Structure 1
Amino acid sequence: MFKEIRDERTFNGILNQIIENIQNGSLKAGDALPAERTMAEIMGVSRPAVREALRALELLGIVKPVPGGGNYITEDLDTWLIEPLSILFKLNNGYLRQNQQFRAALEREAAILAARKCTPLDAAELWVILARLDAAEDEKVRGELDRELHKKIAKIADNPMVYSVLAAADQLTENIVSGTRDYIMKKNNSAREVDDQHHRLVNAIINGDTEQAERCMSEHMDTIERYMEEMQKKS
C-alpha cells in the first residue's frame, strides 16, 4: 500500500500516498491506517513526519484518530469538505447570504444533472421521501426528510464533487443559522409552499425536464433564503 519516499518533500509524499490509496480504493471509509511506526519504516521517514501529515488530514476531516486505537479513514468521506470550507468561509469574512448563494448555485446544478440521470429506481425513492414528508407532522422529522430529499437529488446527480461541496455548504448554513428547516416547517403556510415546490421539483427531475428542474430549484432556494433572512432579523 505504501512505498519509500524518494523525490518528494516528506510531508507531501506522505499526504499523496494516503490520498492515492483512498482514490484507488486501497483505503476505504472506516479503514484503519497502519501504525505510525510501520508507515514511517515503509516510507523511510521519521514518525514525527508521519504524525504531522496525519494531523493535517485530521484537520481536513479525512483521518479520524482514536485515542489508543490508531488512525482511521473517516466514515463519511462525502462530508470531509465541511471543515475546510468553514475555515475558508470565516477567513474571507463570509456572510450567510454569500454561503446561501453558493449553495443555491450547487443545488441548481444538482437538479439539472439529476434530471438527466434519474432512473426508475431513483424516481421511486424520491416519491417515497415525498410521501413520508407529506405524512409527517413533527417539524423536526419534516426538516430531516427535507434534508434527505436534497441529499438524494445530489446523489442522483452522480457527481462526487458536487455532492461533497453541497453537503459542506448545507452543513455550514445549518451551523450559522441552526434550525432553518424547523423554522420553515413551523411557519404558517410556509410548509405548504415548500411542499408544493418539492413536488414540482421532483416531477421535473423524474420527467427529465432540466429547464423546469432548474427553475423549480431556483424558486425553492429563493424561498429558503427569504426565511433565513427573516430568522436572522428575529434573532
Structure 2
Amino acid sequence: MFKKVEDGERAFDAILKQIIANIEAGDLKAGAALPAERAMAEAMGVSRPAVREVLRALELLGIVKSVPGGGNYITENLDTWLIGPLSILFRLNNGYLRQNQQLRAALERESALLAARKCTPLDAAELWMILARLDAAEDEKDRGKLDKELHQKIARIADNPMLYCVLAAADQLTESIIEGTRDYIMKKNQSASVVDEQHHKLVEAIINGDADQAEQAMSEHMETIEQYMEEMQQEQQRERR
C-alpha cells in the first residue's frame, strides 16, 4: 500500500500524496482503518512524527477520524468531508447565511440540469417515490427530511462527485436556517403548497429529460427559499427590537 519516499521529496507532501492515492484507488475505503503509525513510517522510510503530522492535517479536513487508543480511520462519509474546511472558510470571510444560500442555489441549479440529462428509469421511480412520501407526510420534521432527501437524490443523479461534495457541505452549513425557513413557510397561508408545486415541476422536468426546464424550476425554487429566508430574518430582527 505504501512505498519508500524518494530522496529529495518533502516528507509531508509524499506521505499525503500516498494516502490520497490509496483512497482514490479504493485501497483505503470509507470507514477503513489505516495501518499503525509505526508501520506506515517504516513502509515509507519516514519518521512517526511526520506521519502523525499528515494524519492530524487530514483529521482537520475531515478525511481521517482519530479514535483515542483505537487508531486512525478514513471517515465513513467521504461525501461530506468538505464541511469542516468550508465552515472555516465561511467564518474567516465573515460569510452571511444568505451568501451560503446563494452558493447552494448555484450548485442546486447545476445539479438539476445534469440530473435531467442523466436520469434513468430507476432514478425516475425513486424520485416519484420520495415525492409521493413528501406529499403524504403531515409531520413537519418528516417533511423536512424528505425535502432534503429529494434534493440529495437529484444531486446524486447528477453523477458529479465534486458537485455533490461541495453541495453537501453548503447544505450542512445552512441546515438549521433551512429547517427554520420551512417551519416559517408552513405557518404562512398556502405557502407550503407553492413549494410542493415547485418540487413537482422540478421532478417532472428531470424525469422528462428537459435540462433547461429543470434548471429553471430549481432556480425558481431557490429564489422562493431565499425570499422566505429574508422575510423570516426581517421578522426576527423586528422581534429583537
1:170 counterpart letter in structure 2: D
Map Cα deviations across residues 41-99 of structure 1 (whole Å, 9 max, x no partner): 11111111111110100110000111111000000000001111111111112111211
Q: Cα offset for 1:159?
A: 0.4
Measured after TM superposition, the shift of residue 219 of structure 1 is: 0.4
**Residue in structure 2 matched with residue 38 of structure 1 by the alignment:** 39
State the partner residue of 1:74: 75
Structure-1 residue corresponding to 2:102: 101
CA deviation digits over 1:98-136, x for unaligned, max 9?
A: 111111111000000000000000000000000000000
Identify if the C-alpha distance between structure 1 residues 13 and 222 changes in structure 2 by more than 3 Å, giving closer, same or farther: same
TM-score by length of 1: 0.96
Report what 1:170 is aligned to: 171
Q: Does residue 228 in structure 1 map to residue 236 in structure 2?
A: no
Q: CA deviation at 1:174?
A: 1.9
**Structure 1 stretch 80-89 or stretch 195-204: which is displaced more?**
80-89
Q: Which runs of 5+ in 2 are unaligned?
A: 237-241
Which letter maps to 2:126?
Answer: E
| Distance in 2 of aligned mates of 1:80 and 1:16 | 17
RMSD: 1.3
Task: Please name the residue that 1:216 is paired with.
Answer: 217
Q: Structure 1 residues 157, 87: closer, same or farther in 2, change over 3 A? A: same
Which residue identity does 1:191 align to in structure 2? A
Change (3 A) 1:181 1:14: farther
SS for the counterpart of 1:179 is: helix
Identical amino acids, percent of aligned pairs: 79
State the partner residue of 1:160: 161
Segments of structure 1 that go 5 or more residues without pairing to the other structure are none
Distance 1:58 1:103 in 2: 25
Letter in structure 1 aligned against 2:69: G
CA distance in 1 between partners of 2:178 and 2:124 (Å) = 31
Amino acid at match of 1:192: S
Per-residue CA distance 1:126-179 (angstroms, 9 max, x = gap): 000000000000001100000000000000000001100011111111256663
Within 1, Cα distance between the matches of 2:190 and 2:39? 60
Task: Give the Cα–Cα distance (whole angstroms) in 1 for the partners of residues 9 and 232 of structure 2.
Answer: 50
More moved, 86-95 vs 135-144: 86-95
Alpha-carbon distance in 2 for matches of 1:157, 1:171:
19
SS of 1:64's equivalent in the other structure is strand
Which amino acid in 2 is paired with 1:120?
A: P
**How far has the Cα of 1:190 moved from its partner?**
1.8
Alignment of structure 1 residues 110-121 onto 2, 5 Å:
110-121=111-122
Q: CA 1:13/1:186 → structure 2, altered by over 3 Å: closer, same or farther?
A: farther
